Structure 1
Amino acid sequence: MYKYRDSIPINSTGLFLTDGGLETTLVFHHHLDLPEFAAFTLLDQANGIETLRNYYLPYIRTAREQGAGFILESPTWRASRAWARKIGYDVDQLESVNASAISMLADLRREFEMPGAPMVISGCIGPYGDGYQVSEKLTVSEAEEYHREQIDILSRTEADLVSAFTINYNEEAEGIVLATKASNMPVVISFTTETDGRLPSGKTLKDAVQELDDHTGAYPVYYMINCAHPVHFNGALKSGEPWVRRIRAIRANASEKSHEELDASTELDEGNSQALGQWYRALKDRLPDLSVFGGCCGTDVSHIREIARAIH
Structure 2
Amino acid sequence: MNFTDTLKNSPAILTEAAIAERLRRRDDVALDPVLFNTPLIYDEHGRGCLEEIYGQYLGIAQRARLPMLICAPTWRVDRSRITLARQKTSINRDAVSFMRGLQKSWQNTDSQVFVGGLVGPANDCYSPSEALSAEDSEKYHAWQIGELAEAGVDVVVAQTFPAISEALGVIRACASAGVICIMSFVINRDGKVLDGTSIAEAIAMVDAETDKYPVGYMVNCVYPTFISAETQSKSLFERLVGIQANASSLNHAELDGSIDLRQDKLEDWGDFMVSLNRQYGVKILGGCCGTDDRYLEYVAQRLV
Matches within 5 A, 1:148-297: 148-233=142-227, 235=228, 238-288=231-281, 290-297=282-289
Q: TM-score, normalised by structure 2?
A: 0.94
Q: Percent identity?
A: 27
Question: 1 CA distance for matches of 2:119 and 2:105?
Answer: 25
Identify the match of residue 112 of structure 2 among 108, 115, 118. Answer: 118
Question: 1 CA distance for matches of 2:59 and 2:68?
Answer: 10
Matches within 5 A, 1:55-66: 55-66=53-64
Question: Shift of residue 116 of structure 1?
Answer: 4.0
Is the CA contact (8 Å cut-off) linking 1:23 and 1:297 kept in structure 2? no
Is the CA contact (8 Å cut-off) linking 1:186 and 1:220 kept in structure 2? yes
Identify the match of residue 109 of structure 1 among 103, 114, 117. Answer: 103
SS at match of 2:274: helix
1:281 to 1:221, Cα distance in 2 relative to 1, 3 A: same
Question: 1 CA distance for matches of 2:235 and 2:208?
Answer: 13
Question: 1 CA distance for matches of 2:178 and 2:204?
Answer: 22
Consecutive unaligned residues of structure 1, counting only runs of 5 or more, are none
1:260 to 1:163, Cα distance in 2 relative to 1, 3 A: same
Which residue is equivalent to 1:304?
296
SS at match of 1:178: helix
Identify the match of residue 28 of structure 1 among 14, 22, 25. Answer: 25
Matches within 5 A, 1:9-28: 9-28=6-25
Is the CA contact (8 Å cut-off) linking 2:218 and 2:241 kept in structure 1? yes
SS at match of 2:151: coil
Is the CA contact (8 Å cut-off) linking 1:132 and 1:168 kept in structure 2? yes
SS at match of 2:238: helix
Question: 2 CA distance for matches of 1:258 and 1:12?
Answer: 34
Question: Shift of residue 236 of structure 1?
Answer: 5.1
User: Could you give the per-residue CA deviations for residues 244-266 of structure 1, whole angstroms, max 9, x where no partner exists?
Assistant: 22011110000111111111421
Question: 2 CA distance for matches of 1:236 and 1:30?
Answer: 39
Question: 1 CA distance for matches of 2:34 and 2:187?
Answer: 21
Question: Shift of residue 103 of structure 1?
Answer: 0.7
Is the CA contact (8 Å cut-off) linking 1:106 and 1:158 kept in structure 2? no
Is the CA contact (8 Å cut-off) linking 1:147 and 1:176 kept in structure 2? yes
Which residue is equivalent to 1:89?
86
Is the CA contact (8 Å cut-off) linking 2:70 and 2:115 kept in structure 1? yes
Question: 2 CA distance for matches of 1:237 and 1:126?
Answer: 29
Q: TM-score, normalised by structure 1?
A: 0.91
User: Could you give the per-residue CA deviations for residues 282-311 of structure 1, whole angstroms, max 9, x where no partner exists?
Assistant: 2122212x2111100111111100111233
Question: 2 CA distance for matches of 1:153 and 1:202?
Answer: 32
Question: 1 CA distance for matches of 2:188 and 2:106?
Answer: 37
Return the letter of the residue paired with 1:259.
H
Question: 2 CA distance for matches of 1:37 and 1:232?
Answer: 29
Question: 1 CA distance for matches of 2:245 and 2:251?
Answer: 12
Is the CA contact (8 Å cut-off) linking 1:73 and 1:123 kept in structure 2? yes
Kindly tell me the number of residue pairs found equivalent between the two proteins: 303
